Amino acid sequence: MSKPTPISGFPEWLPAQRMIEQNVVEKIRSTFELYGFAPLETRAVEPMDQLLRKGETSKEVYVLRRLQEDPAAGGGDDALGLHFDLTVPFARFVLENSGKLQFPFRRYQIQKVWRGERPQEGRYREFLQADIDVVDRDTLPFHYDTEMPLVIGDAFRSLPIPQATILVNNRKVCEGFYRGLGLEDPDQVLRTVDKLDKIGPEKVAALLVETAGATDAQARACLRLAEISTGDASFVDAVRALGVSNALLDEGLEELVRVVDAAAEHAPGLIRAELKIARGLDYYTGTVYETQLRGYERFGSICSGGRYENLASAGNERFPGVGISIGVSRMLGLLFGHGALSVSRSVPTCVVVALPHEDLRGRCDGIARALRSRRISTEVAPSAAKFGKQIRFAERRGIPYVWFPGAGGEPDTIKDIRSGEQVEADAATWTPPAGDLLPEVSGAR
């Protein structure tokens, strides 16, 4: 068999990176549960009509098909696709289980998703997301929109990553402004303005004229709105100065002020009002969020979401919601690529029990069992060798301690191979310092 060729866009972390990922996921999960979000996992596939009913996603969906399927039979697995986010399957889950859920329903989901987009740094075709959403029946109080960034802010502060800034906008601001200008297709304007960071203002202006029927003056006004960026509620005056009036615009500005003011009170510096933020998916109807890491702004958002009024709806049933999603793989891929995260050792092992000779393997296994019974990760040396070689085995993996079984009635000893200190020890009572018990994840200094 020839050496396999890696498939781009499907990250496979090395063990040390995987331990970092698990550490990060555990801290995120813990923060979500502190806020009362309950765990949920949904299936990997959804009906194609559900995946394609909201947003321009048809080019990104992976279709599920059996190799031997007969296309003429119809109704096969090609009616299913892998989910491209966790919000659409969550909305479907709520509709299917509404009679069993208590509302408002708060859930978190940490799962893989799949998108058929072009792989590049920090962008993958298979990746891990960590979502929180709150849905309610008929109406959802707006205070949940103000809570979302506070949860994410706490989650990010628990991680050894650069400072995060959550950029927030409200689609009502944009849509109301565009309607106030006289533009009749605000959704097309939103989709076009959402490309600002990718293609720049000149090309966006040209596209607005070409695809949204805007005049040059209307296109310039849209760009002036998108230029507004403030760390406080002063964006209201900046919008008013553009001279556009509309009731929906007024409603959006009021809501956006509430989000910004709540963050200023509880987490100063966390949020910035950024009126070019639109989000590409059509199901968002109000507040929208994107998040940048300091020093990594050029790579775009690593956490995003917003409010949706009609995604979870069928007939007379409607469950509006608001949610936000951390792109765990995206964030970690960027940080790994720049050497910004490290772990204190490449294995969970805290102690290696040295093996004097094979006849003593049973005794060494007993020492390891005694340590493991007290949740101390331990392995026995792979083979009997000179102790210097067994110490180097531990050093190469970053394992801090080597245990030496006593000979001829002598007590066991344990050696901290970093400092060289060696002391008598009993496997029934010895405990390492708390900082050595588990691998520690740290950010770049």
What domains sit in the chain, N to C, each tagged with a CATH number? 15-342 (3.30.930.10), 351-443 (3.40.50.800)
List the single range of 135-144, 402-411, 418-427 with lowest mean pLDDT: 402-411
Cβ-based burial of 52 (10 A; exposed 0-12, middle 13-18, buried ≥19): middle
71 confidence band (pLDDT: 50, 70, 90): low
Q: What is the mean pLDDT of residues 89-110?
A: 95
Preceding peptide of 104 cis, ω within 30°:
yes
124 is in an annotated binding site: no
pLDDT digits (tens, 9 = 90+) for 211-270: 988 999 999 999 999 999 999 999 999 999 999 999 999 999 999 999 999 999 999 999
- Pick the residue with more confidence: 188 or 26? 26
Q: With 80 as the cut, is the pLDDT of residue 328 above it?
A: yes
Q: Which two tokens stand for residue 20?
A: 């970092």
Q: How high is the pLDDT of residue 184?
A: 87
The annotation status of 284 as a binding-site residue, yes or no, is yes
Residue 377's pLDDT band (boundaries 50, 70, 90)?
very high
Predicted TM-score (pTM) of the model is 0.91
- pLDDT for residue 104 is more than 70: yes
**Is 129 annotated for ligand binding?**
yes
Is 133 a known ligand-binding residue? yes
Residue 283 known to bind ligand: yes
Q: How far is CA 415 from the centre of its chain?
A: 40
Q: Is 85 annotated as a binding residue?
A: yes
